[in-house]
Chains A and B, each alone.
Chain A
């Protein structure tokens, strides 16, 4: 009697481990789409003047309610002495990671990466608002939309400008042309040319997220250790 119980327990464990391992392995390998694009963005911090035209345009085009934002320009400074002071401007918006922490943790699969474009989006219907994705994003760019009550974030204007075949709102709005958008897989695209022309960096790459928002650094404001 005791032996059969042990056998049952052992086989039950084996089945559970095997099944869960199989499903996890299956879902974590990406379905490679042959013609799929990999849209990415470069923010040239040397050209950015912190005018917020990008945030304003984003809010208008994507109907982002007040109190939350898909895109922010963060300002550090002033550095230097009057009258030659300067600031550092960094863009805070969804990094469209290749190895998305948010998609991984979403319990219903409402957060997903579109294999055609490489853009990370949210299916507002499926989202139940558990806020796991908001906690999981190390860049802290996700928020709960007060109108839909679902998670929301920058999606490179996938549902608005991209559908019309235009550039994302922020890219068009920038007066100094600090933003470049395009397909990383197209060697002739502007974005690839810009990325190859200047040293660039991405934020928090040590976390393994493989973000697709690149930055060209402006000069440092102060020496930090």
Chain B
């Protein structure tokens, strides 16, 4: 049984990448909102970190959707998923949420970048000026709405898999929480990495702010992983077999303990705590920690998707 080819495997790595990208988008925009609301205020658009998050959010959600469409066996019929809905299907609800999320996302981006956009337009298109001013008036509502949508999107990635009764490891109530939290974590990491690459200050208030939130997020993620697997094991039967097969042996066992627990969670946690204690953060510290986190979440998505499909109810 190869780690990537076995009986019962239906969804492959393109879906894992889509789930990863959806989580990154939701997480990045959540942190952008938090940064703007709590730290940066009106001049948020000048921060490299906000700029990174505002680039990552739409690009990753588009890339994710693109991969999803390419993975369909009838890719040219993708429009049918946007037109026909089924309220009992998590995927259908998720698509609806995604569509509205994108609208809210761009509305919020318009509010944040109103000044630079208007400066660039230089009064050439009065329609744009009017539109941006109208949106800016409703910024608080848009922000609130976008936050709800982003958190829904993050959780949706988990609900999508947990609706599958075929696989006892996936058909689990902890999965949506796990994916939401790891999605937020990946969004934070993406924002940090993108921010320092865009010449943001690695010792600035944005980094401090995000790192302070990241530490509890990593701890919560560790607790959720623990709950998830212990829960499966004490459920017994196929759930127990699924859990032990996933983390107990072979390629995916290594991915879990080495890639996710150590590199993806423990290392960033250790770095963050160390950085809190030491005085100055450097570019390399921030970049490496963020990369480890991102890798960890990417591996987590693949790990859950593949090992989840290994054991059938």
Contact = CB atoms under 8 A, between A and B. Distances in A.
So, do A and B actually touch in the complex, CB under 8 Å? Answer: yes
Nearest to B88: A104
Contact of B74 (A136, A140, A149): A149
Interface residues of A, number: 41
Contacts of A109: 84-86
A127 B77 CA distance: 8
B48 to A, nearest CB: 28
A220 to B, nearest CB: 20
A108 B73 contact: no
B73 A131 contact: yes
B74 A131 contact: no
A193 interface: no
Contact of A149 (B8, B10, B73): B73
Q: Which of B73, B83, B84, B148 has the most chain A CB within a 10 Å cutoff?
A: B73
Nearest to A109: B86
Contacts of A26: 87
B11 A131 contact: yes
Given A27-B88, A150-B74, A105 B163 contact: yes
Contact of B78 (A28, A126, A128): A128
A60 to B, nearest CB: 24
Nearest to B92: A107
Which size class do B's interface residues fall under?
35 or more
Interface stretch (B116-124, B138-146, B267-275): B138-146
A104 B86 CA distance: 8
B144 A108 contact: no
Contact of A12 (B77, B91, B148, B167): B148
Contacts of A9: 144, 148
Nearest to A22: B87
Contacts of A130: 71-72, 81, 91
Nearest to A151: B73
A208 B145 CA distance: 37
B84 A136 contact: no
A135 B164 contact: yes
Nearest to A130: B72
Interface string B158-186: 00000111110000000000000000000
Contacts of B8: 140
Interface of A: 5, 8-9, 12-13, 16, 20, 23-24, 26-28, 101, 103-110, 126-132, 134-138, 140, 144, 149-150, 204, 207-209
Closest 8 CB pairs of A and B: A129-B73, A23-B87, A107-B92, A108-B84, A135-B10, A107-B91, A129-B74, A138-B166
